Structures are given as structure tokens and as C-alpha cells.
């Protein structure tokens, strides 16, 4: 069983937004990560099992990125994998930076309720990946969810 993490992608309207923000960050800093105040207690299990961070965008789980490490940071943190700061005073407190593979893998769109922070996600509870070559906006989310619920896709 793979142990993953799920996280709201705050500020992104689409997977394309996430990809653009992260591409800009990759050029500027050379790596992609998400900074959070709390360290996952099961981080070794996440790494050993090949876990990913699953992004919830506009109340729909849409994509994932493989987690390649965890590191301590004192920098600002943000909710979209871009590490923007909303409170400069937070920069002095140690945080956990979840280091991510730059490849964004699209998943079947699964509706998801809002939540705070991040949560663990077992592999059997995670949406399957979409076939390679699928674009994020091939189907409107509502239609894709309805078709999946009817067993069409």
C-alpha cells in the first residue's frame, strides 16, 4: 500500500495554473516544493512506499506529484506548491518543505470537500491516473464525475 498526502491547492483555478506557477518556481529556484507548518509523522512511510501529494483544486482532486523528500526550511510557505508567504513573520519558524517531482500526473477528477492543512491518503482511496496524453480540460469536471458515477468511464 502506498501512503500519500492530499492537499488543497489554494489559489489555483486549474491544473494549468498549478503547472504554470511551478514552472516559474522551478526556473527561479531549481526545485518544486510545498511548505507546511506541520511535519508528517509518517514521512518515512510516504517516501518508502513512493507516495505522492494529491492536489485538490476547486473542490476536485485533479492531479498528483511524487514526493521525493522532506526538508526543514525557515522560508515562507504557501498552499499551491509555489511557496508564497502571506505572513512575513512566519519566516522565522521552522517548517517542513515537501520536495516534489516536477512532473504533474493528472488523475480522474474526484470531488472533495474542503479541509485544512494536509491529510494522509491511502492508495486504495486515491483516484487513478488518467491515461498519458490526456489534457486537464478534456472534459468538464462535472461531466467527468457524472460519467464516472454512471459507470461510463
Q: Which of 89, 82, 101 is nearest to 35 (CA)?
A: 82
pLDDT of the residue at 4: 98
- DSSP per residue, 13-26: SSHHHHHHHHHHHH
Note down pLDDT in tens along the chain; length 153 residues: 999 999 999 889 999 999 999 999 999 988 999 999 899 999 999 999 999 999 999 999 999 999 999 999 886 554 444 444 455 555 577 899 999 999 999 999 999 998 988 999 999 999 999 988 776 555 666 666 676 667 655
Q: Residue 110 forms beta bridges with which residues?
A: 61
- The grid coordinates listed for 138 are 478534456
Say if residues 57 and 14 touch (Cβ distance below 8 Å).
yes
The DSSP letter of residue 121 is E
Q: How far apart are CA 63 and CA 10, in angstroms?
A: 14
Give the pTM: 0.81
Please report the pLDDT score of residue 67 as a whole number. Answer: 98
CA angle centred on 21, ends 32 and 86, rounded to 5°: 85
Amino acid at each position: 500500500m502506498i501512503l500519500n498526502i492530499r492537499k488543497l491547492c489554494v489559489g489555483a483555478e486549474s491544473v494549468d495554473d498549478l503547472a504554470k506557477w511551478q514552472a516559474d518556481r522551478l526556473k527561479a529556484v531549481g526545485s518544486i516544493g510545498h511548505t507546511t507548518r506541520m511535519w508528517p509523522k509518517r514521512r518515512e512511510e510516504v517516501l518508502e512506499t513512493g507516495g505522492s501529494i494529491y492536489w485538490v483544486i476547486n473542490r476536485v482532486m485533479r492531479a498528483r506529484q511524487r514526493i521525493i523528500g522532506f526538508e526543514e526550511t525557515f522560508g515562507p510557505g504557501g498552499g499551491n506548491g509555489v511557496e508564497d508567504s502571506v505572513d512575513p513573520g512566519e519566516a522565522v519558524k521552522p517548517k517542513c518543505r515537501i520536495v516534489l517531482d516536477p512532473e504533474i500526473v493528472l488523475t480522474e477528477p474526484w470531488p472533495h470537500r474542503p479541509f485544512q492543512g494536509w491529510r494522509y491518503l491511502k492508495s486504495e482511496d486515491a483516484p487513478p491516473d488518467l491515461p498519458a496524453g490526456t489534457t486537464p480540460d478534456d472534459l468538464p469536471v462535472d461531466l467527468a464525475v457524472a460519467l464516472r458515477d454512471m459507470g461510463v468511464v
